[in-house]
């Protein structure tokens, strides 16, 4: 007798509800928050739609749009070439498709971030999580839940900036280096506007998640939502960035497959 098909079992689980699809993607619109750099630097484009036709004289039977957007607007994928440390590594179109489907470890620091928006994850936090849940997944994602997705409808609340700059949680410089160089994961996923903490401009090196992870041929996922619907281990993430040739990143539809009893 032939063995049961793995893909057939997956399809059966999806249809029967024993496998849930959780959308981790923030809807993309003109109101989607975008990062703001100091004024001397170039700025990313907010998302814009330009209507081509809508069942009218411009096209009587069809509706469609042009759109304009930065590569790093909304839920998006950071390719290694995005940072100077990875300038000779992969653009987003060159990321192997097999690496876009990977297991996830979800570390929940939402309570700490609620008390302190500048909260930083240290290596000891991750090791404590591993003591309770097992090692980080080989070739998987480290997903950082901070509760920041609740702010995603407001540019001001999402960036949480004052005269000293933005205040958002993230990894400490040492933790960023450890994740890049010692952890078995392929990348870091966060709910904030970028993979680095808000005050990372003053770290050594500046923006250590970008510097260390992308320079180590790892990836970033940002502006994720609904990480609270995922278990600490066991979820499978499907990250689908647009394969922009020479692109430093791209908006992405990010999904998680979760087994439910």
Would you name the residues annotated as active-site residues?
A: 82
Across the strands, what pairs with 64? 53
Q: What share of the chain is helix, strand, coil (3-state, %, to 5)?
A: 30, 30, 45
Phi-psi region of 193 (alpha: psi -120 to 50; beta: other; left: phi over 0): alpha
Tell me how many degrees the CA angle 204-173-242 measures, rounded to the nearest 5: 105
HSE on the CB side for 249, CA within 13 Å?
Answer: 28
Distances (CA, A) of 49 to 31, 153, 170: 12, 18, 32
């Amino acid at each position: 007798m032939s063995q049961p098909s793995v893909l057939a079992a997956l399809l059966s689980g999806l249809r029967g509800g024993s496998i849930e699809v959780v959308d981790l993607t923030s809807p993309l619109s003109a109101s989607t928050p975008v990062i703001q750099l100091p004024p001397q630097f170039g700025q990313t484009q907010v998302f814009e739609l330009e209507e081509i036709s809508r069942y009218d004289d411009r096209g009587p039977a069809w509706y469609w749009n042009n759109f304009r957007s930065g590569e790093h607007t909304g839920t998006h994928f950071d390719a290694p070439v995005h940072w100077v440390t990875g300038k000779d590594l992969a653009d987003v179109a060159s990321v192997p498709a097999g690496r876009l489907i990977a297991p996830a470890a979800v570390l929940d620091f939402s309570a700490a971030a609620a008390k302190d928006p500048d909260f930083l994850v240290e290596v000891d936090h991750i090791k404590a999580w591993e003591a309770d849940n097992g090692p980080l997944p080989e070739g998987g994602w480290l997903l950082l839940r901070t509760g920041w997705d609740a702010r995603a409808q407001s540019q001001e609340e999402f960036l949480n900036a004052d005269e000293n700059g933005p205040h958002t949680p993230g990894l400490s410089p040492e933790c960023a280096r450890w994740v890049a160089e010692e952890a078995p994961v392929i990348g870091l996923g966060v709910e904030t506007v970028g993979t680095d903490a808000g005050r990372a401009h003053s770290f050594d090196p500046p923006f250590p998640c970008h510097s260390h992870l992308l320079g180590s041929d790892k990836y970033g996922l940002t502006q994720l939502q609904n990480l609270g619907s995922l278990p600490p281990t066991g979820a499978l993430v499907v990250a689908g960035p647009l394969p922009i040739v020479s692109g430093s990143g791209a908006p992405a539809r990010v999904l998680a497959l979760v087994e439910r009893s």
